[in-house]
Amino acid sequence: MNENQQADIFQALHGGYVNSPQATPDQWPAAAFAELCNALYERELQQLAQQLGLTVQGLQKRLRSLPYYIQQAARGMLQCGAPFVLDLQNASWQTPQKTKLQTAAKQTTKLSNWLHKHAKLGDAVVIHVQTQHLQKAVLDSLDRLDLAQQRVHCNHWGWFDLQGQWLDPLPAHEAAATAMQAVLVLPDKYHLGAAMGGHQWGHKGKLDPRPLSLREVLLATRIQWR
């Protein structure tokens, strides 16, 4: 690495932001990795502290596994080449947010074509989730492709048909309370950017981005950008 390359990388770190997807893993300063790990630890510990119903044994198990997954996530965030600005201080991606959650008119046809021709088990996908008061884009992964039955299964959100319609709605009493809906959308740059940026919307428009779960961060780092 020459002096100009080194200067460019450290300049990108000014203010805690990285925007250099061309850099190779050995070019990232150790400080970037350490800062990401610290931010991920802080966020995950806050989430664990707020998690109800977690037993002592369950908490101990989660804490023992944290170092491995956090280091894996931090390393992946630096190496994945995502075309977005990486905020080291908050362990998040900064992506442009639209004034409202949008789904293209031809979304269902494009999604069906992608699922038939390109989707693989383990691929990261995007779910648009809507309740009475909130809309957001979230990451999930494909763990079953049942094309013969015209459906696919996502690890967290369950079954969807090939047009993105949710086939696993909540029980009636929960659905009535939350009016929750979920739609599987094409994992293109726009939708992936919304999910990776933690974008969410309320009745009055854009809200502050939500922090991604550690699981979502790990999913994001496995995306193959073309």
Q: What is the pLDDT of residues 101-129, one digit of tens each?
A: 877 667 889 999 999 999 999 999 999 99
Give the pLDDT score at 192: 96
Domain coordinates of the chain in residue numbers? Answer: 3-94, 107-221
At 105, list the tokens: 């008119």
Give the pLDDT score at 171: 60
Q: What is the percentage of the chain residues whose pLDDT exceeds 90?
A: 66
- Give the pLDDT band of residue 196 (cuts 50, 70, 90): very high
Query: What tens digit of pLDDT does each residue of 137-187 get?
Result: 999 999 999 999 999 999 999 999 999 999 987 665 565 556 788 999 999
Give the pLDDT score at 54: 81
Question: Rounded to 10 degrees, what is the CA torsion of 157, 159, 162, 164?
Answer: -40
- Give the pLDDT band of residue 55 (cuts 50, 70, 90): confident
**pTM for the model:** 0.83
Under 8 Å CB-to-CB from 220, ≥6 apart: which residues? 76, 77, 80, 82, 93, 124, 139, 192, 195, 196, 212
Q: Has residue 22 got a pLDDT over 50?
A: no
